[in-house]
Amino acid sequence: MSKSSNYYYKASKSKLLRPILSNVFVALGIHWFFQSILAMDRTERFFKIAMDAFLTILFSLILTQRYSFILSISLGWILAHTINFLSNGHIFAVLKCFGLIKHQKDVMEKYLISMRFRIQAEPSLRWAAVYGSLSRGEMKETSDLDVRVIRNPGIINGLRACYFVMSERTRAHLKQFPLDILLLDGPRLLSSIRHDEPPFVIYDASVDNRRIL
Same domain, 204 and 111: yes
Domain that holds residue 185: 102-211
Q: Residue 175's domain is classified under what CATH number?
A: 3.30.460
Task: Compute the average pLDDT of residues 153-179.
Answer: 96
15-38: pLDDT as tens digits: 888 888 899 999 999 999 999 999
Same domain, 188 and 110: yes
The angle at the Cα of 92, spanning 147 to 21, to the nearest 5 degrees, equals: 100
Q: Is residue 13 part of a domain?
A: no
Q: Is residue 29 part of a domain?
A: no
Q: Is residue 24 part of a domain?
A: no
Q: Is residue 21 part of a domain?
A: no
Same domain, 119 and 198: yes
- Contact between 74 and 82 (Cβ < 8 Å): no
Query: Which pTM was predicted?
Result: 0.89
Closest CA to 207 of 118, 120, 136, 115: 120
pLDDT exceeds 60 at position 57: yes
Q: How confident is the model at residue 45 (pLDDT cuts 50, 70, 90)?
A: very high
Residue at 155: amino acid letter: I
Percentage of the chain lying above the pLDDT 70 cut: 95
Q: What's residue 2's pLDDT? A: 42
- Contact between 150 and 184 (Cβ < 8 Å): yes
Task: Compute the average pLDDT of residues 86-105.
Answer: 90
Q: Determine the 3-state secondary structure of 201 from DSSP.
A: strand
Task: Report the DSSP pairing between strands 145-151 and 179-184.
Answer: parallel
Q: Is 138 exposed, middle or buried (0-12, 13-18, 19+ CB in 10 A)?
A: exposed
- Contact between 1 and 98 (Cβ < 8 Å): yes
- Contact between 190 and 148 (Cβ < 8 Å): yes
What's the domain count of the chain? 2
